[in-house]
Amino acid sequence: MTPQARPARRADVRELSRTMARAFYDDPFMSWLLSNDNARTARLTRLFATIVRHQHLAGGGVEVARGAAGIGGAALWDPPDRWRESRRQQLAMTPGFLRVFGFRTAKARAALDVMMRVHPEEPHWYLAAIGSDPTVRGQGFGQVLMRSRLDRCDAEHCPA
């Protein structure tokens, strides 16, 4: 079955978060922040659920790619001028971040702050994360997600 992209719904958050956790399990940055291999999948699942629920989903830029076995990939886009998390979003995400990062929460926040400082200011669609389940890599999930959003960017004459 060819993967199909569609906007994510609140009901997708759990499955989407599990898919992204598998996608980012071996990511060097996430492995550094979440060094306990036994707990990493659960913590990444909670991290993605937290950021999708409290930041990305509200902007309408989260898309999932579905295949025969369900959600195989996801892209977390933020619309122009909405990539910076609000104070309210930060507060809403704090309990989740504390559960995910524990004593490393300050390091995670510091890394995010560095990325925020060097982020371009001109309006653009911002791709915060894209990932696919390792079992479906090479089957077009990432491609269909990128094509979906970039076609919209082209139609809106808005950079990404």
The DSSP output letter for 85 is P
For tokens 């996801």, name the residue: 74
**What per-residue confidence (pLDDT) applies to 48?**
97
- Per the structure, the complete domain to which residue 150 belongs is given by 4-156
Higher pLDDT residue, 75 or 156?
75
- pLDDT, position 42: 97
76's tokens: 């977390």
How many domains are contained in the chain? 1
Q: What is the maximum alpha-carbon separation in the chain?
A: 45
- pTM exceeds cut of 0.85: yes
pLDDT band at 146 (very low <50, low <70, confident <90, very high): very high
| Residue 34 neighbours by CB under 8 Å, 6+ apart | 40, 43, 44, 100, 101, 104
Q: What's 141's domain CATH number?
A: 3.40.630.30
Give the angle subtended at the CA of 131 by the CAs of 47 and 50, to the nearest 5°: 15
**Confidence category of residue 63, pLDDT binned at 50, 70, 90:** very high
